[in-house]
């Protein structure tokens, strides 16, 4: 059963995002090494309905939940996640299909 990791990001300080940009560069090869495939990774967002809009949206597909869990529990991911946690606000969802 495919598992999707869907993330909405708010970037509070758009003028100082060096650490978050470093996270973006470093996390992609980690995710891909665990079988993750980026479906969407964009800041080009048009609000269609509702009253809030994230600054960035990421959708990653994994073959199954175990791949997803292994990725985000890995030592490699642990070494970079602080660059995200300390610099942006995140809402993350796991959706299985």
| The two three-digit tokens of residue 72, written as one number | 């985000």
In angstroms, rounded to a whole number, what is the distance separating the alpha carbons of residues 43 and 74? 26
Instruction: List, as own/partner pairs, every contact residues 16-20 make where C-beta atoms lie below 8 angstroms and the sequence separation is at least 24, other chains included.
Output: 17/87, 19/83, 19/86, 19/87, 20/83, 20/84, 20/87, 20/88
Residues of the chain under the 70 pLDDT cut:
none
Q: Domains of the chain, with CATH numbers?
A: 3-96 (3.30.70.100)
pLDDT tens digits for 52-76? 899 999 999 999 999 999 999 999 9
Whole-number pLDDT of residue 36: 98
- Tell me the CA distances in angstroms from 51 to 42, 48, 54, 78, one per residue in order: 19, 9, 10, 33
pTM over 0.85: yes
């Amino acid at each position: 059963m495919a598992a999707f990791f869907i993330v909405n990001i708010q970037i509070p300080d758009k003028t100082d995002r060096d650490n978050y940009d470093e996270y973006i560069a470093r996390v992609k090869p980690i995710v891909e090494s665990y079988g993750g495939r980026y479906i969407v990774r964009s800041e080009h967002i048009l609000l269609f309905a509702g009253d809030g809009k994230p600054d960035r949206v990421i959708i990653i597909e994994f073959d199954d939940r175990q791949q997803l869990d292994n990725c985000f529990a890995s030592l490699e991911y642990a070494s970079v996640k602080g660059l995200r946690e300390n610099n942006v606000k995140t809402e993350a969802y796991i959706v299985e299909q």
